Structure 1
Amino acid sequence: MAFFWRRLIIVHAGSDKGFVDNACLIFKAGLATDDYHGQMNRKNFTRWLTEKFSNIPANSVVVLDNAPYHSVQQYKTPTKSSVNRDIIAWLIKKGISHDASARKFDLFDLVLRHKPPGDQKDYIVDRIIRSHGHTPLRTPPYLCELNPIELAWKFCQHVRTVEDKFWETDQIMEKIEPLVITIGNEDSSTNGSSSEDDSEDDSEYEAEGKENE
Protein backbone atom coordinates (compact mmCIF):
# COMPACT_ATOMS: atom_id res chain seq x y z
CA MET A 1 0.00 0.00 0.00
CA ALA A 2 1.36 3.41 -0.92
CA PHE A 3 0.61 6.74 0.69
CA PHE A 4 1.31 10.29 -0.39
CA TRP A 5 1.87 13.42 1.65
CA ARG A 6 2.25 17.11 0.99
CA ARG A 7 4.52 19.44 2.88
CA LEU A 8 2.75 22.24 4.77
CA ILE A 9 4.27 25.70 5.15
CA ILE A 10 3.53 27.33 8.51
CA VAL A 11 4.12 31.00 9.27
CA HIS A 12 3.54 32.12 12.83
CA ALA A 13 4.57 34.66 15.45
CA GLY A 14 5.15 34.19 19.15
CA SER A 15 6.69 35.60 22.29
CA ASP A 16 7.49 34.52 25.83
CA LYS A 17 3.71 34.42 26.33
CA GLY A 18 3.22 31.81 23.59
CA PHE A 19 2.03 31.97 20.00
CA VAL A 20 0.00 35.01 19.00
CA ASP A 21 -3.73 34.36 18.54
CA ASN A 22 -4.97 34.40 14.94
CA ALA A 23 -1.46 34.98 13.56
CA CYS A 24 -0.99 31.60 11.90
CA LEU A 25 -0.85 31.10 8.14
CA ILE A 26 -0.78 27.54 6.73
CA PHE A 27 -0.69 26.57 3.08
CA LYS A 28 0.31 23.55 1.02
CA ALA A 29 3.75 23.50 -0.57
CA GLY A 30 4.12 22.62 -4.21
CA LEU A 31 5.66 19.38 -5.42
CA ALA A 32 8.46 21.00 -7.41
CA THR A 33 10.99 21.06 -4.59
CA ASP A 34 11.64 19.64 -1.11
CA ASP A 35 13.25 22.90 0.01
CA TYR A 36 10.65 25.00 1.81
CA HIS A 37 12.64 28.16 1.06
CA GLY A 38 11.56 27.73 -2.55
CA GLN A 39 7.92 27.86 -1.44
CA MET A 40 8.22 30.58 1.18
CA ASN A 41 8.88 33.74 -0.80
CA ARG A 42 8.38 37.48 -0.47
CA LYS A 43 4.84 37.30 -1.87
CA ASN A 44 3.67 34.74 0.69
CA PHE A 45 5.48 36.38 3.58
CA THR A 46 4.15 39.87 2.84
CA ARG A 47 0.70 38.30 2.53
CA TRP A 48 1.08 37.03 6.09
CA LEU A 49 2.27 40.45 7.27
CA THR A 50 -0.68 42.13 5.59
CA GLU A 51 -3.38 39.68 6.73
CA LYS A 52 -2.19 38.52 10.15
CA PHE A 53 0.14 41.12 11.57
CA SER A 54 -2.60 43.29 13.02
CA ASN A 55 -2.91 40.65 15.75
CA ILE A 56 0.59 41.32 17.08
CA PRO A 57 0.64 43.27 20.38
CA ALA A 58 1.24 47.00 19.93
CA ASN A 59 4.77 48.42 19.95
CA SER A 60 6.42 45.01 19.58
CA VAL A 61 10.01 44.33 18.59
CA VAL A 62 9.83 41.86 15.71
CA VAL A 63 12.87 39.56 15.50
CA LEU A 64 13.72 38.34 11.99
CA ASP A 65 16.52 36.29 10.54
CA ASN A 66 18.10 37.08 7.17
CA ALA A 67 16.10 34.71 4.99
CA PRO A 68 15.91 35.90 1.36
CA TYR A 69 12.19 36.65 1.59
CA HIS A 70 12.88 38.88 4.61
CA SER A 71 15.57 40.84 2.79
CA VAL A 72 14.04 42.08 -0.46
CA GLN A 73 14.82 45.78 -0.76
CA GLN A 74 12.33 48.41 -1.82
CA TYR A 75 14.88 50.35 -3.82
CA LYS A 76 18.11 48.42 -4.00
CA THR A 77 21.05 50.78 -4.15
CA PRO A 78 22.98 50.43 -7.43
CA THR A 79 26.63 49.38 -7.38
CA LYS A 80 29.51 50.18 -9.70
CA SER A 81 28.62 47.13 -11.78
CA SER A 82 25.01 48.31 -12.31
CA VAL A 83 24.03 49.41 -15.81
CA ASN A 84 22.94 52.97 -16.57
CA ARG A 85 19.30 51.92 -16.88
CA ASP A 86 19.18 50.60 -13.30
CA ILE A 87 21.03 53.62 -11.91
CA ILE A 88 18.62 56.02 -13.61
CA ALA A 89 15.62 54.02 -12.38
CA TRP A 90 16.93 54.28 -8.82
CA LEU A 91 17.46 58.03 -9.14
CA ILE A 92 13.92 58.46 -10.47
CA LYS A 93 12.39 56.42 -7.61
CA LYS A 94 14.32 58.53 -5.12
CA GLY A 95 13.22 61.74 -6.83
CA ILE A 96 16.82 62.80 -7.44
CA SER A 97 17.40 65.32 -10.23
CA HIS A 98 19.82 64.02 -12.88
CA ASP A 99 20.78 64.15 -16.53
CA ALA A 100 19.79 60.89 -18.21
CA SER A 101 22.42 61.47 -20.90
CA ALA A 102 25.25 61.83 -18.37
CA ARG A 103 28.08 59.33 -18.17
CA LYS A 104 27.78 56.37 -15.83
CA PHE A 105 30.55 57.81 -13.63
CA ASP A 106 28.55 60.99 -13.02
CA LEU A 107 25.29 59.11 -12.45
CA PHE A 108 26.90 56.80 -9.90
CA ASP A 109 28.38 59.82 -8.13
CA LEU A 110 24.78 60.92 -7.49
CA VAL A 111 24.05 57.48 -6.05
CA LEU A 112 26.97 57.76 -3.62
CA ARG A 113 25.76 61.16 -2.45
CA HIS A 114 22.16 60.07 -1.85
CA LYS A 115 22.35 56.42 -0.79
CA PRO A 116 21.30 55.48 2.79
CA PRO A 117 24.04 56.05 5.39
CA GLY A 118 26.23 53.14 6.42
CA ASP A 119 24.78 49.67 5.73
CA GLN A 120 21.19 50.81 6.19
CA LYS A 121 18.94 49.11 3.66
CA ASP A 122 15.34 49.78 2.73
CA TYR A 123 13.65 46.39 3.18
CA ILE A 124 10.04 45.94 2.06
CA VAL A 125 9.31 43.77 5.11
CA ASP A 126 10.68 46.42 7.49
CA ARG A 127 8.42 49.05 5.94
CA ILE A 128 5.33 46.90 6.54
CA ILE A 129 6.39 46.14 10.13
CA ARG A 130 6.95 49.83 10.89
CA SER A 131 3.60 50.71 9.32
CA HIS A 132 1.97 48.58 12.05
CA GLY A 133 3.83 50.51 14.75
CA HIS A 134 6.47 47.84 15.44
CA THR A 135 10.27 47.80 15.33
CA PRO A 136 12.09 45.24 13.14
CA LEU A 137 15.23 43.66 14.60
CA ARG A 138 17.41 41.34 12.52
CA THR A 139 19.65 38.62 13.88
CA PRO A 140 23.31 38.59 12.77
CA PRO A 141 23.96 36.61 9.58
CA TYR A 142 24.01 32.81 10.01
CA LEU A 143 22.85 33.04 13.64
CA CYS A 144 19.15 32.31 13.21
CA GLU A 145 19.20 30.36 16.49
CA LEU A 146 19.07 33.77 18.20
CA ASN A 147 15.49 34.02 16.98
CA PRO A 148 13.35 32.30 19.68
CA ILE A 149 10.87 30.88 17.18
CA GLU A 150 13.58 28.65 15.71
CA LEU A 151 13.42 26.59 18.91
CA ALA A 152 9.68 26.08 18.49
CA TRP A 153 10.20 24.30 15.16
CA LYS A 154 12.67 21.95 16.88
CA PHE A 155 9.69 20.54 18.78
CA CYS A 156 8.21 19.53 15.44
CA GLN A 157 11.51 18.00 14.35
CA HIS A 158 11.69 16.00 17.57
CA VAL A 159 8.23 14.52 16.95
CA ARG A 160 9.17 13.73 13.36
CA THR A 161 12.29 11.90 14.57
CA VAL A 162 10.15 9.80 16.92
CA GLU A 163 7.71 9.05 14.10
CA ASP A 164 10.57 7.95 11.84
CA LYS A 165 11.78 5.53 14.53
CA PHE A 166 8.30 4.01 14.80
CA TRP A 167 8.12 3.58 11.02
CA GLU A 168 11.56 1.95 10.99
CA THR A 169 10.62 -0.44 13.79
CA ASP A 170 7.36 -1.32 12.07
CA GLN A 171 9.15 -2.16 8.83
CA ILE A 172 11.66 -4.36 10.65
CA MET A 173 8.89 -6.30 12.36
CA GLU A 174 7.19 -6.94 9.01
CA LYS A 175 10.40 -8.47 7.65
CA ILE A 176 10.81 -10.95 10.53
CA GLU A 177 9.53 -14.40 9.53
CA PRO A 178 7.28 -16.16 12.05
CA LEU A 179 8.87 -18.96 14.08
CA VAL A 180 7.22 -22.33 13.25
CA ILE A 181 7.80 -25.46 15.36
CA THR A 182 7.02 -28.74 13.55
CA ILE A 183 6.36 -31.89 15.60
CA GLY A 184 7.66 -34.81 13.53
CA ASN A 185 8.73 -38.49 13.90
CA GLU A 186 11.76 -37.58 15.94
CA ASP A 187 9.61 -36.16 18.68
CA SER A 188 7.27 -39.15 18.53
CA SER A 189 10.12 -41.63 18.96
CA THR A 190 11.49 -39.68 21.84
CA ASN A 191 8.12 -39.64 23.50
CA GLY A 192 7.83 -43.38 22.90
CA SER A 193 11.14 -44.07 24.62
CA SER A 194 10.00 -42.15 27.59
CA SER A 195 6.81 -44.20 27.78
CA GLU A 196 8.74 -47.47 27.71
CA ASP A 197 11.07 -46.26 30.46
CA ASP A 198 8.10 -45.33 32.54
CA SER A 199 6.55 -48.78 32.01
CA GLU A 200 9.73 -50.56 33.11
CA ASP A 201 9.91 -48.44 36.22
CA ASP A 202 6.31 -49.30 37.05
CA SER A 203 6.96 -53.04 36.54
CA GLU A 204 9.94 -53.07 38.89
CA TYR A 205 7.90 -51.25 41.48
CA GLU A 206 5.12 -53.86 41.21
CA ALA A 207 7.63 -56.72 41.50
CA GLU A 208 9.16 -55.27 44.62
CA GLY A 209 5.74 -54.90 46.07
CA LYS A 210 4.95 -58.58 45.58
CA GLU A 211 8.21 -59.66 47.20
CA ASN A 212 7.43 -57.56 50.22
CA GLU A 213 4.08 -59.23 50.55
Structure 2
Amino acid sequence: MCAPASATGVYDIPNFNSDTWVIDQGEVINRANEGQISNTFADLAQNTGKQVRIVTIRRLDYGETTQSFTEALFDKWFPTTEDKANQVLLVIDVLTNQSAIATGEEVKSLLPEETAESVASETLLVPLRDGNKYNQAFLDSTDRLSKILSGEADPGPPEVNNNISVEGNFGKVEGEERSNAIAWIVGLLVAATIIPMATYYIYLAVQPSSNS
Protein backbone atom coordinates (compact mmCIF):
# COMPACT_ATOMS: atom_id res chain seq x y z
CA MET A 1 0.00 0.00 0.00
CA CYS A 2 1.37 3.41 -0.94
CA ALA A 3 1.83 6.04 1.74
CA PRO A 4 -0.14 9.27 1.41
CA ALA A 5 1.74 12.01 -0.39
CA SER A 6 2.02 14.07 2.79
CA ALA A 7 3.42 11.21 4.87
CA THR A 8 6.96 11.52 6.22
CA GLY A 9 9.56 8.81 6.17
CA VAL A 10 12.95 8.82 7.83
CA TYR A 11 14.72 9.71 4.58
CA ASP A 12 12.44 12.72 4.12
CA ILE A 13 14.20 14.30 7.10
CA PRO A 14 17.39 16.07 6.03
CA ASN A 15 20.70 15.53 7.72
CA PHE A 16 21.51 18.22 10.24
CA ASN A 17 24.53 20.41 10.67
CA SER A 18 26.10 21.37 13.97
CA ASP A 19 23.84 24.40 14.29
CA THR A 20 20.58 22.53 13.66
CA TRP A 21 18.59 21.88 16.83
CA VAL A 22 15.00 22.04 15.56
CA ILE A 23 13.47 20.60 12.38
CA ASP A 24 9.86 21.75 12.36
CA GLN A 25 8.25 20.07 9.37
CA GLY A 26 4.95 20.13 11.24
CA GLU A 27 5.16 23.94 11.29
CA VAL A 28 3.90 24.26 14.87
CA ILE A 29 6.72 26.28 16.49
CA ASN A 30 6.91 30.00 15.83
CA ARG A 31 10.19 31.53 14.73
CA ALA A 32 10.92 33.35 17.98
CA ASN A 33 10.45 30.23 20.08
CA GLU A 34 12.44 28.11 17.64
CA GLY A 35 15.30 30.56 18.08
CA GLN A 36 14.99 30.44 21.85
CA ILE A 37 14.98 26.63 21.85
CA SER A 38 17.98 26.51 19.51
CA ASN A 39 19.95 28.92 21.69
CA THR A 40 19.22 26.87 24.80
CA PHE A 41 20.36 23.63 23.16
CA ALA A 42 23.43 25.30 21.65
CA ASP A 43 24.47 26.54 25.10
CA LEU A 44 23.81 23.09 26.56
CA ALA A 45 26.02 21.44 23.95
CA GLN A 46 28.83 23.94 24.51
CA ASN A 47 28.69 23.63 28.30
CA THR A 48 28.08 19.91 28.73
CA GLY A 49 28.68 18.12 25.43
CA LYS A 50 25.10 16.81 25.56
CA GLN A 51 23.04 17.51 22.44
CA VAL A 52 19.26 17.61 22.08
CA ARG A 53 17.34 17.86 18.83
CA ILE A 54 13.62 18.24 18.20
CA VAL A 55 11.78 17.04 15.10
CA THR A 56 8.12 17.64 14.27
CA ILE A 57 6.46 15.85 11.38
CA ARG A 58 3.05 16.18 9.75
CA ARG A 59 2.26 12.53 9.25
CA LEU A 60 3.94 9.13 9.44
CA ASP A 61 4.39 6.60 6.68
CA TYR A 62 1.84 3.79 6.61
CA GLY A 63 2.70 1.16 9.23
CA GLU A 64 5.18 3.42 11.03
CA THR A 65 4.87 4.41 14.68
CA THR A 66 6.35 7.47 16.30
CA GLN A 67 8.66 5.27 18.34
CA SER A 68 9.91 3.26 15.33
CA PHE A 69 10.36 6.47 13.32
CA THR A 70 12.36 8.07 16.15
CA GLU A 71 14.61 5.05 16.56
CA ALA A 72 15.19 4.84 12.79
CA LEU A 73 16.02 8.55 12.54
CA PHE A 74 18.33 8.23 15.56
CA ASP A 75 20.14 5.40 13.76
CA LYS A 76 20.30 7.39 10.52
CA TRP A 77 21.75 10.49 12.15
CA PHE A 78 24.00 8.65 14.61
CA PRO A 79 25.01 5.30 13.10
CA THR A 80 27.35 4.07 15.84
CA THR A 81 27.07 3.72 19.60
CA GLU A 82 29.78 6.35 19.97
CA ASP A 83 27.85 8.76 17.75
CA LYS A 84 24.70 8.25 19.81
CA ALA A 85 26.38 8.48 23.20
CA ASN A 86 25.61 12.12 24.09
CA GLN A 87 22.52 12.58 21.94
CA VAL A 88 18.82 13.07 22.66
CA LEU A 89 16.16 13.11 19.95
CA LEU A 90 12.58 14.19 20.69
CA VAL A 91 9.98 13.64 17.95
CA ILE A 92 6.26 14.36 17.60
CA ASP A 93 3.75 13.55 14.86
CA VAL A 94 1.43 16.58 14.87
CA LEU A 95 -1.39 14.71 13.13
CA THR A 96 -1.87 12.38 16.09
CA ASN A 97 0.16 14.18 18.80
CA GLN A 98 2.07 10.95 19.40
CA SER A 99 5.60 11.52 20.67
CA ALA A 100 8.76 9.51 21.28
CA ILE A 101 12.28 10.06 22.54
CA ALA A 102 15.64 8.35 21.96
CA THR A 103 18.75 8.78 24.11
CA GLY A 104 22.40 7.72 23.98
CA GLU A 105 24.20 5.74 26.68
CA GLU A 106 26.18 8.67 28.10
CA VAL A 107 22.97 10.61 28.61
CA LYS A 108 21.17 7.89 30.57
CA SER A 109 23.02 8.56 33.83
CA LEU A 110 21.40 12.00 33.93
CA LEU A 111 18.29 11.18 31.92
CA PRO A 112 17.16 7.62 32.72
CA GLU A 113 14.50 6.02 30.54
CA GLU A 114 11.67 6.75 32.97
CA THR A 115 12.50 10.45 33.03
CA ALA A 116 12.99 10.61 29.28
CA GLU A 117 9.58 8.99 28.79
CA SER A 118 8.07 11.50 31.22
CA VAL A 119 9.43 14.36 29.12
CA ALA A 120 7.95 12.89 25.95
CA SER A 121 4.59 11.81 27.35
CA GLU A 122 3.93 14.43 30.04
CA THR A 123 5.99 17.61 29.69
CA LEU A 124 5.48 17.65 25.91
CA LEU A 125 1.92 16.39 25.71
CA VAL A 126 0.11 18.02 28.64
CA PRO A 127 0.02 21.49 26.99
CA LEU A 128 -1.27 19.85 23.80
CA ARG A 129 -4.29 18.50 25.67
CA ASP A 130 -5.15 22.08 26.58
CA GLY A 131 -5.67 23.57 23.14
CA ASN A 132 -2.66 22.24 21.18
CA LYS A 133 -0.21 24.67 22.79
CA TYR A 134 2.82 23.47 20.82
CA ASN A 135 5.05 26.43 21.60
CA GLN A 136 4.45 26.05 25.33
CA ALA A 137 4.97 22.29 25.05
CA PHE A 138 8.37 22.62 23.41
CA LEU A 139 9.52 25.47 25.61
CA ASP A 140 8.64 23.43 28.71
CA SER A 141 10.35 20.32 27.32
CA THR A 142 13.45 22.32 26.38
CA ASP A 143 13.65 23.85 29.84
CA ARG A 144 13.28 20.49 31.59
CA LEU A 145 15.79 18.68 29.37
CA SER A 146 18.38 21.45 29.59
CA LYS A 147 18.18 21.52 33.40
CA ILE A 148 18.41 17.75 33.75
CA LEU A 149 21.33 17.43 31.31
CA SER A 150 23.11 20.32 33.01
CA GLY A 151 23.05 18.33 36.26
CA GLU A 152 20.38 20.45 37.91
CA ALA A 153 17.40 19.07 39.77
CA ASP A 154 14.62 17.72 37.57
CA PRO A 155 11.71 20.19 37.74
CA GLY A 156 9.40 17.27 36.95
CA PRO A 157 6.35 17.06 34.72
CA PRO A 158 3.54 19.61 34.79
CA GLU A 159 1.08 19.29 37.67
CA VAL A 160 -2.38 19.04 36.17
CA ASN A 161 -4.57 17.08 38.57
CA ASN A 162 -5.50 20.00 40.80
CA ASN A 163 -6.33 22.26 37.87
CA ILE A 164 -8.47 19.62 36.22
CA SER A 165 -10.27 18.93 39.49
CA VAL A 166 -10.95 22.61 40.15
CA GLU A 167 -12.23 23.18 36.64
CA GLY A 168 -14.44 20.12 36.93
CA ASN A 169 -15.86 21.34 40.23
CA PHE A 170 -16.54 24.78 38.81
CA GLY A 171 -18.38 23.16 35.92
CA LYS A 172 -20.45 21.08 38.33
CA VAL A 173 -21.31 24.05 40.53
CA GLU A 174 -22.26 26.17 37.54
CA GLY A 175 -24.45 23.37 36.24
CA GLU A 176 -26.16 22.96 39.60
CA GLU A 177 -26.75 26.71 39.89
CA ARG A 178 -28.26 26.80 36.40
CA SER A 179 -30.56 23.86 37.27
CA ASN A 180 -31.65 25.53 40.51
CA ALA A 181 -32.37 28.78 38.68
CA ILE A 182 -34.51 26.99 36.11
CA ALA A 183 -36.40 25.20 38.88
CA TRP A 184 -37.13 28.51 40.62
CA ILE A 185 -38.38 30.08 37.38
CA VAL A 186 -40.64 27.14 36.63
CA GLY A 187 -41.95 27.21 40.20
CA LEU A 188 -42.72 30.91 40.00
CA LEU A 189 -44.52 30.52 36.68
CA VAL A 190 -46.61 27.68 38.04
CA ALA A 191 -47.41 29.65 41.15
CA ALA A 192 -48.31 32.73 39.13
CA THR A 193 -50.79 30.63 37.16
CA ILE A 194 -52.29 28.42 39.86
CA ILE A 195 -52.62 30.87 42.77
CA PRO A 196 -54.92 33.36 40.98
CA MET A 197 -57.06 30.49 39.63
CA ALA A 198 -57.33 28.89 43.05
CA THR A 199 -58.20 32.22 44.62
CA TYR A 200 -60.92 32.78 42.03
CA TYR A 201 -62.49 29.35 42.59
CA ILE A 202 -62.40 29.82 46.37
CA TYR A 203 -64.08 33.17 45.92
CA LEU A 204 -66.84 31.59 43.83
CA ALA A 205 -67.28 28.79 46.37
CA VAL A 206 -67.90 31.13 49.29
CA GLN A 207 -70.29 33.45 47.47
CA PRO A 208 -74.01 33.06 48.41
CA SER A 209 -76.08 31.17 45.89
CA SER A 210 -78.20 33.38 43.65
CA ASN A 211 -81.23 31.15 44.52
CA SER A 212 -80.97 31.81 48.26
TM-score (normalizing by structure 2): 0.30
Q: Over alpha carbons, which structure has the higher Rg?
A: 1
